[in-house]
Structure 1
Amino acid sequence: MTTQTQQQMSAVLDQLAGVLDGIDDTSKPTPCTEYDVAALRAHTVGWLTAFTDGFEAADGQCSNPDAARVNGTGGDQVRQLADRLDQALSAGAAQRPLRIGDAEMPGDMSLQMMLWEYQMHGWDLARATGQQWSPPQDGVLASLEFAPAMLTEDYQGEGKSFGPRVEVPADAPAIDRLAGLSGRDPKWSA
Protein backbone atom coordinates (compact mmCIF):
# COMPACT_ATOMS: atom_id res chain seq x y z
CA MET A 1 0.00 0.00 0.00
CA THR A 2 2.75 2.46 0.92
CA THR A 3 4.53 2.16 -2.46
CA GLN A 4 1.26 2.70 -4.32
CA THR A 5 0.33 5.65 -2.09
CA GLN A 6 3.84 7.04 -2.57
CA GLN A 7 3.42 6.92 -6.35
CA GLN A 8 -0.03 8.53 -6.13
CA MET A 9 1.37 11.25 -3.88
CA SER A 10 4.20 11.93 -6.31
CA ALA A 11 1.75 12.37 -9.19
CA VAL A 12 -0.48 14.71 -7.15
CA LEU A 13 2.48 16.86 -6.09
CA ASP A 14 3.72 17.07 -9.68
CA GLN A 15 0.32 18.30 -10.79
CA LEU A 16 0.11 20.68 -7.81
CA ALA A 17 3.45 22.24 -8.76
CA GLY A 18 2.05 22.97 -12.22
CA VAL A 19 -1.07 24.55 -10.74
CA LEU A 20 1.06 26.76 -8.48
CA ASP A 21 3.11 27.86 -11.50
CA GLY A 22 -0.14 28.80 -13.27
CA ILE A 23 -1.48 31.14 -10.58
CA ASP A 24 -1.67 34.75 -11.72
CA ASP A 25 -3.90 36.28 -9.01
CA THR A 26 -3.37 35.27 -5.39
CA SER A 27 -6.20 37.40 -4.00
CA LYS A 28 -9.01 35.17 -5.32
CA PRO A 29 -11.24 33.23 -2.91
CA THR A 30 -11.01 29.43 -2.81
CA PRO A 31 -13.53 26.66 -2.03
CA CYS A 32 -11.57 26.24 1.21
CA THR A 33 -13.43 29.23 2.62
CA GLU A 34 -10.97 30.26 5.31
CA TYR A 35 -8.21 30.83 2.73
CA ASP A 36 -7.72 32.98 -0.34
CA VAL A 37 -5.30 31.69 -2.99
CA ALA A 38 -2.23 33.27 -1.35
CA ALA A 39 -3.04 31.85 2.09
CA LEU A 40 -3.89 28.39 0.72
CA ARG A 41 -0.68 28.32 -1.33
CA ALA A 42 1.28 29.18 1.85
CA HIS A 43 -0.66 26.53 3.78
CA THR A 44 0.07 23.80 1.23
CA VAL A 45 3.76 24.67 0.92
CA GLY A 46 4.14 25.08 4.69
CA TRP A 47 2.56 21.76 5.56
CA LEU A 48 4.34 19.91 2.75
CA THR A 49 7.60 21.26 4.19
CA ALA A 50 6.59 20.15 7.70
CA PHE A 51 5.52 16.67 6.59
CA THR A 52 8.64 16.18 4.48
CA ASP A 53 10.87 17.28 7.35
CA GLY A 54 9.05 14.81 9.59
CA PHE A 55 9.47 11.91 7.21
CA GLU A 56 13.17 12.76 6.92
CA ALA A 57 13.73 13.10 10.68
CA ALA A 58 14.85 10.04 12.61
CA ASP A 59 12.28 10.81 15.33
CA GLY A 60 9.53 11.60 12.79
CA GLN A 61 9.00 15.11 14.18
CA CYS A 62 7.45 17.53 11.70
CA SER A 63 8.78 21.06 11.56
CA ASN A 64 6.64 24.15 12.12
CA PRO A 65 4.58 24.69 8.94
CA ASP A 66 4.23 28.40 9.74
CA ALA A 67 8.01 28.84 9.50
CA ALA A 68 8.07 27.91 5.80
CA ARG A 69 7.87 30.69 3.22
CA VAL A 70 6.72 30.41 -0.38
CA ASN A 71 9.50 31.08 -2.87
CA GLY A 72 8.26 32.48 -6.19
CA THR A 73 5.17 30.60 -7.28
CA GLY A 74 5.92 27.72 -4.94
CA GLY A 75 5.98 25.27 -7.86
CA ASP A 76 9.72 24.61 -7.74
CA GLN A 77 9.53 24.33 -3.97
CA VAL A 78 6.85 21.64 -4.25
CA ARG A 79 8.93 19.77 -6.83
CA GLN A 80 11.98 19.83 -4.52
CA LEU A 81 9.92 18.78 -1.52
CA ALA A 82 8.32 15.99 -3.56
CA ASP A 83 11.79 14.67 -4.44
CA ARG A 84 12.87 14.78 -0.79
CA LEU A 85 9.65 13.12 0.34
CA ASP A 86 10.01 10.40 -2.29
CA GLN A 87 13.58 9.69 -1.14
CA ALA A 88 12.55 9.49 2.51
CA LEU A 89 9.64 7.20 1.72
CA SER A 90 11.83 4.99 -0.47
CA ALA A 91 14.17 4.66 2.52
CA GLY A 92 11.29 3.35 4.66
CA ALA A 93 10.15 6.50 6.48
CA ALA A 94 6.47 5.50 6.30
CA GLN A 95 7.26 2.49 8.49
CA ARG A 96 7.68 4.73 11.54
CA PRO A 97 5.28 7.21 13.14
CA LEU A 98 5.05 10.81 12.00
CA ARG A 99 4.85 13.32 14.84
CA ILE A 100 2.86 16.52 14.41
CA GLY A 101 3.40 18.58 17.56
CA ASP A 102 2.63 16.22 20.44
CA ALA A 103 0.41 13.95 18.33
CA GLU A 104 1.68 10.84 16.62
CA MET A 105 0.24 8.99 13.64
CA PRO A 106 1.45 5.85 11.85
CA GLY A 107 3.59 6.87 8.88
CA ASP A 108 1.56 5.00 6.27
CA MET A 109 -1.66 6.55 7.61
CA SER A 110 -0.01 9.98 7.53
CA LEU A 111 0.86 9.45 3.89
CA GLN A 112 -2.76 8.53 3.09
CA MET A 113 -3.93 11.65 4.92
CA MET A 114 -1.46 13.76 2.93
CA LEU A 115 -2.64 12.26 -0.36
CA TRP A 116 -6.22 13.22 0.47
CA GLU A 117 -5.22 16.68 1.68
CA TYR A 118 -3.17 17.51 -1.41
CA GLN A 119 -5.81 16.14 -3.76
CA MET A 120 -8.31 18.51 -2.14
CA HIS A 121 -6.06 21.56 -1.80
CA GLY A 122 -4.88 21.07 -5.38
CA TRP A 123 -8.55 20.96 -6.40
CA ASP A 124 -9.20 24.11 -4.33
CA LEU A 125 -6.36 26.02 -5.98
CA ALA A 126 -7.13 24.79 -9.49
CA ARG A 127 -10.82 25.59 -9.13
CA ALA A 128 -10.08 29.06 -7.70
CA THR A 129 -7.70 29.92 -10.54
CA GLY A 130 -9.54 28.34 -13.46
CA GLN A 131 -7.06 25.51 -14.03
CA GLN A 132 -7.55 21.82 -14.71
CA TRP A 133 -7.20 19.30 -11.89
CA SER A 134 -7.26 15.59 -12.61
CA PRO A 135 -5.23 13.57 -10.11
CA PRO A 136 -4.85 9.84 -10.79
CA GLN A 137 -8.18 8.07 -10.37
CA ASP A 138 -6.75 5.25 -8.23
CA GLY A 139 -5.49 7.77 -5.67
CA VAL A 140 -8.84 9.57 -5.54
CA LEU A 141 -10.63 6.26 -5.02
CA ALA A 142 -8.18 5.37 -2.24
CA SER A 143 -8.92 8.72 -0.57
CA LEU A 144 -12.66 8.10 -0.86
CA GLU A 145 -12.10 4.97 1.22
CA PHE A 146 -9.68 6.63 3.67
CA ALA A 147 -11.30 10.02 4.36
CA PRO A 148 -14.53 8.90 6.10
CA ALA A 149 -12.51 7.53 9.04
CA MET A 150 -10.92 10.95 9.52
CA LEU A 151 -14.10 12.98 9.04
CA THR A 152 -15.61 12.45 12.46
CA GLU A 153 -17.97 14.88 14.20
CA ASP A 154 -14.91 16.37 15.93
CA TYR A 155 -13.54 17.57 12.60
CA GLN A 156 -16.47 18.06 10.23
CA GLY A 157 -19.35 20.49 10.49
CA GLU A 158 -20.02 24.19 10.85
CA GLY A 159 -16.98 26.04 12.20
CA LYS A 160 -14.73 22.96 12.08
CA SER A 161 -11.71 22.01 9.98
CA PHE A 162 -13.98 20.51 7.32
CA GLY A 163 -17.35 21.97 6.38
CA PRO A 164 -20.47 19.80 6.39
CA ARG A 165 -20.62 17.16 3.68
CA VAL A 166 -22.14 18.27 0.40
CA GLU A 167 -24.53 15.82 -1.26
CA VAL A 168 -23.11 14.58 -4.55
CA PRO A 169 -24.74 11.99 -6.83
CA ALA A 170 -23.32 8.48 -6.44
CA ASP A 171 -22.47 8.40 -10.14
CA ALA A 172 -20.56 11.73 -10.05
CA PRO A 173 -16.83 11.68 -10.90
CA ALA A 174 -14.70 10.41 -8.01
CA ILE A 175 -13.01 13.79 -7.48
CA ASP A 176 -16.44 15.44 -7.14
CA ARG A 177 -17.51 12.81 -4.60
CA LEU A 178 -14.27 13.39 -2.67
CA ALA A 179 -14.85 17.15 -2.73
CA GLY A 180 -18.41 16.70 -1.42
CA LEU A 181 -17.24 14.30 1.27
CA SER A 182 -14.62 16.88 2.27
CA GLY A 183 -17.23 19.63 2.66
CA ARG A 184 -16.79 21.33 -0.70
CA ASP A 185 -19.36 21.97 -3.39
CA PRO A 186 -18.09 20.38 -6.62
CA LYS A 187 -19.98 23.09 -8.54
CA TRP A 188 -18.07 25.90 -6.78
CA SER A 189 -16.58 28.55 -9.06
CA ALA A 190 -14.63 31.71 -8.37
Structure 2
Amino acid sequence: METSTALLRVLDQLADLLDDAAATPPTAPTPCSEYDFQTLRGHVVGWLTAFTDGYAADDHTCSDPEAVTVEGSGAEQVRRNAARLSELLPAALAHPLNIGGAGMPGDMAASMILWEYQVHGWDLAQAAGLPWSPDEEGLEASLVFAPNMLTPDFQGKGKVFGPAVDVPADAPAMNRLAGLSGRQV
Protein backbone atom coordinates (compact mmCIF):
# COMPACT_ATOMS: atom_id res chain seq x y z
CA MET A 1 0.00 0.00 0.00
CA GLU A 2 1.31 3.43 -0.88
CA THR A 3 1.96 5.83 1.98
CA SER A 4 -0.47 8.38 0.55
CA THR A 5 -3.26 5.77 0.43
CA ALA A 6 -2.58 4.66 4.00
CA LEU A 7 -2.47 8.28 5.16
CA LEU A 8 -5.79 9.17 3.56
CA ARG A 9 -7.40 6.09 5.13
CA VAL A 10 -6.09 7.02 8.58
CA LEU A 11 -7.39 10.57 8.17
CA ASP A 12 -10.80 9.21 7.21
CA GLN A 13 -10.80 7.09 10.37
CA LEU A 14 -9.59 10.06 12.42
CA ALA A 15 -12.47 12.24 11.20
CA ASP A 16 -14.96 9.52 12.16
CA LEU A 17 -13.26 9.13 15.55
CA LEU A 18 -13.50 12.87 16.22
CA ASP A 19 -17.20 12.79 15.36
CA ASP A 20 -17.76 9.79 17.63
CA ALA A 21 -15.73 11.36 20.45
CA ALA A 22 -17.57 14.69 20.41
CA ALA A 23 -18.94 14.02 23.91
CA THR A 24 -15.53 13.15 25.40
CA PRO A 25 -14.67 15.49 28.26
CA PRO A 26 -12.10 18.00 26.98
CA THR A 27 -9.80 17.31 29.92
CA ALA A 28 -9.81 13.52 29.46
CA PRO A 29 -6.21 12.30 29.75
CA THR A 30 -4.54 10.69 26.75
CA PRO A 31 -1.60 8.26 26.63
CA CYS A 32 0.36 11.16 25.12
CA SER A 33 1.46 12.58 28.47
CA GLU A 34 1.80 16.15 27.19
CA TYR A 35 -1.82 16.44 26.07
CA ASP A 36 -5.34 16.04 27.35
CA PHE A 37 -8.03 15.20 24.77
CA GLN A 38 -8.82 18.79 23.76
CA THR A 39 -5.18 19.85 23.50
CA LEU A 40 -4.23 16.77 21.47
CA ARG A 41 -7.22 17.30 19.17
CA GLY A 42 -5.99 20.88 18.60
CA HIS A 43 -2.45 19.60 17.93
CA VAL A 44 -3.69 17.03 15.43
CA VAL A 45 -5.99 19.43 13.54
CA GLY A 46 -3.44 22.27 13.63
CA TRP A 47 -0.56 20.20 12.32
CA LEU A 48 -2.67 18.46 9.67
CA THR A 49 -3.62 21.91 8.39
CA ALA A 50 0.03 23.02 8.50
CA PHE A 51 1.26 19.92 6.64
CA THR A 52 -1.47 20.23 4.02
CA ASP A 53 -0.72 23.92 3.53
CA GLY A 54 2.96 23.06 3.14
CA TYR A 55 2.30 20.45 0.47
CA ALA A 56 0.12 23.02 -1.36
CA ALA A 57 2.45 26.03 -1.04
CA ASP A 58 4.78 27.05 -3.86
CA ASP A 59 7.70 27.12 -1.41
CA HIS A 60 6.47 23.93 0.37
CA THR A 61 6.53 25.67 3.77
CA CYS A 62 4.07 24.55 6.42
CA SER A 63 1.77 27.16 7.90
CA ASP A 64 1.60 27.88 11.63
CA PRO A 65 -0.26 25.03 13.36
CA GLU A 66 -0.82 27.23 16.42
CA ALA A 67 -2.91 29.63 14.31
CA VAL A 68 -5.56 26.95 13.71
CA THR A 69 -8.71 26.95 15.83
CA VAL A 70 -10.61 23.69 16.06
CA GLU A 71 -14.14 24.03 14.74
CA GLY A 72 -16.62 21.81 16.57
CA SER A 73 -15.20 18.31 16.87
CA GLY A 74 -12.49 19.05 14.27
CA ALA A 75 -13.78 16.22 12.06
CA GLU A 76 -14.78 18.46 9.16
CA GLN A 77 -11.37 20.17 9.22
CA VAL A 78 -9.72 16.76 8.99
CA ARG A 79 -12.00 15.82 6.09
CA ARG A 80 -11.27 19.09 4.24
CA ASN A 81 -7.52 18.63 4.67
CA ALA A 82 -7.76 15.00 3.57
CA ALA A 83 -9.65 16.08 0.45
CA ARG A 84 -6.93 18.64 -0.30
CA LEU A 85 -4.22 16.05 0.28
CA SER A 86 -5.91 13.56 -2.03
CA GLU A 87 -5.54 16.13 -4.82
CA LEU A 88 -1.96 17.07 -3.89
CA LEU A 89 -0.51 13.61 -3.34
CA PRO A 90 1.46 11.86 -4.74
CA ALA A 91 2.86 14.70 -6.90
CA ALA A 92 3.70 16.76 -3.80
CA LEU A 93 5.81 13.93 -2.42
CA ALA A 94 8.51 14.77 -4.96
CA HIS A 95 9.19 18.08 -3.20
CA PRO A 96 10.66 18.71 0.25
CA LEU A 97 8.25 19.79 2.97
CA ASN A 98 9.58 22.66 5.07
CA ILE A 99 8.55 22.03 8.66
CA GLY A 100 9.60 24.58 11.24
CA GLY A 101 12.41 25.91 9.06
CA ALA A 102 13.85 22.50 8.20
CA GLY A 103 13.29 20.70 4.93
CA MET A 104 12.32 17.03 4.84
CA PRO A 105 11.89 14.99 1.66
CA GLY A 106 8.17 15.00 0.84
CA ASP A 107 7.82 11.23 0.83
CA MET A 108 9.62 10.98 4.18
CA ALA A 109 7.33 13.68 5.60
CA ALA A 110 4.28 11.70 4.46
CA SER A 111 5.60 8.61 6.26
CA MET A 112 6.17 10.70 9.39
CA ILE A 113 2.64 12.15 9.16
CA LEU A 114 1.15 8.69 8.69
CA TRP A 115 2.96 7.41 11.79
CA GLU A 116 2.00 10.49 13.81
CA TYR A 117 -1.68 10.20 12.94
CA GLN A 118 -1.79 6.46 13.56
CA VAL A 119 -0.37 7.01 17.06
CA HIS A 120 -2.26 10.20 17.89
CA GLY A 121 -5.47 8.60 16.63
CA TRP A 122 -4.78 5.77 19.06
CA ASP A 123 -4.12 8.31 21.83
CA LEU A 124 -7.45 10.04 21.16
CA ALA A 125 -9.31 6.73 20.89
CA GLN A 126 -7.87 5.55 24.20
CA ALA A 127 -8.99 8.76 25.92
CA ALA A 128 -12.48 8.47 24.42
CA GLY A 129 -12.83 4.72 25.02
CA LEU A 130 -13.35 4.12 21.30
CA PRO A 131 -11.85 1.55 18.92
CA TRP A 132 -8.95 2.48 16.64
CA SER A 133 -7.73 0.06 13.99
CA PRO A 134 -5.76 1.49 11.08
CA ASP A 135 -4.84 -0.79 8.18
CA GLU A 136 -2.24 -3.40 9.13
CA GLU A 137 -0.16 -2.69 6.04
CA GLY A 138 0.14 1.00 6.91
CA LEU A 139 1.00 0.12 10.52
CA GLU A 140 3.72 -2.29 9.37
CA ALA A 141 5.18 0.45 7.16
CA SER A 142 5.27 2.79 10.16
CA LEU A 143 6.95 0.10 12.26
CA VAL A 144 9.76 0.13 9.69
CA PHE A 145 9.84 3.93 9.38
CA ALA A 146 9.50 5.08 13.01
CA PRO A 147 12.80 3.69 14.37
CA ASN A 148 14.64 5.96 11.93
CA MET A 149 12.97 8.99 13.55
CA LEU A 150 13.15 7.75 17.14
CA THR A 151 16.79 8.59 17.67
CA PRO A 152 18.23 9.33 21.13
CA ASP A 153 17.79 13.04 20.34
CA PHE A 154 14.01 12.60 20.31
CA GLN A 155 13.23 9.56 22.44
CA GLY A 156 13.87 9.04 26.12
CA LYS A 157 12.99 10.46 29.48
CA GLY A 158 11.95 14.12 29.18
CA LYS A 159 12.03 14.10 25.36
CA VAL A 160 9.34 14.43 22.70
CA PHE A 161 8.81 10.65 22.76
CA GLY A 162 9.05 8.70 25.98
CA PRO A 163 11.25 5.63 26.16
CA ALA A 164 10.06 2.69 24.09
CA VAL A 165 7.79 0.31 25.98
CA ASP A 166 8.38 -3.42 25.64
CA VAL A 167 5.55 -5.04 23.72
CA PRO A 168 5.58 -8.70 22.66
CA ALA A 169 6.71 -9.23 19.07
CA ASP A 170 3.48 -11.08 18.31
CA ALA A 171 1.26 -8.25 19.63
CA PRO A 172 -1.00 -6.43 17.15
CA ALA A 173 0.86 -3.93 14.96
CA MET A 174 -0.92 -0.94 16.56
CA ASN A 175 0.21 -2.03 20.02
CA ARG A 176 3.78 -2.50 18.81
CA LEU A 177 3.75 0.96 17.18
CA ALA A 178 2.29 2.58 20.30
CA GLY A 179 4.91 0.89 22.49
CA LEU A 180 7.71 1.85 20.11
CA SER A 181 6.43 5.45 20.32
CA GLY A 182 6.68 5.42 24.13
CA ARG A 183 3.06 4.63 24.97
CA GLN A 184 2.01 2.23 27.69
CA VAL A 185 -0.06 -0.43 25.97
TM range (shorter): over 0.9
Which amino acid is the alignment partner of residue 47 of structure 2? W
Q: Aligned with 2:174: secondary structure?
A: helix
Question: Offset at 1:62?
Answer: 0.2
Unaligned runs of 5+ in 1: none
1:163-174 pair list within 5 angstroms: 163-174=162-173
CA-to-partner distance for each residue in 1:86-119, whole Å, 9 max, x for gaps?
A: 11114x1110000012100000000000000000
TM score, norm. by length of structure 1: 0.95
**Aligned residue number for residue 140 of structure 1:** 139
Q: Aligned with 2:98: secondary structure?
A: strand
**Aligned residue number for residue 13 of structure 1:** 11
1:116-135 pair list within 5 angstroms: 116-135=115-134
**Aligned residue number for residue 99 of structure 1:** 98
Separation of aligned partners in 2, 1:175 and 1:101: 28
**Aligned residue number for residue 151 of structure 1:** 150
Question: Offset at 1:81?
Answer: 0.5
Q: Aligned with 2:103: secondary structure?
A: strand
**Aligned residue number for residue 29 of structure 2:** 29
Separation of aligned partners in 2, 1:72 and 1:26: 12
TM score, norm. by length of structure 2: 0.97
1:67-106 pair list within 5 angstroms: 67-90=67-90, 92-106=91-105
Aligned residue pairs, count: 183
Separation of aligned partners in 2, 1:114 and 1:82: 12
**Aligned residue number for residue 112 of structure 1:** 111
Q: Aligned with 2:139: secondary structure?
A: helix
1:45-56 pair list within 5 angstroms: 45-56=45-56
RMSD over equivalenced CA pairs, Å:
0.8
Q: Aligned with 2:89: secondary structure?
A: helix
CA-to-partner distance for each residue in 1:26-45, whole Å, 9 max, x for gaps?
A: 21000001100000000000
Q: Aligned with 1:104: secondary structure?
A: strand
**Aligned residue number for residue 161 of structure 1:** 160
CA-to-partner distance for each residue in 1:3-26, whole Å, 9 max, x for gaps?
A: x11110010000000111122122
Question: Offset at 1:85?
Answer: 1.1
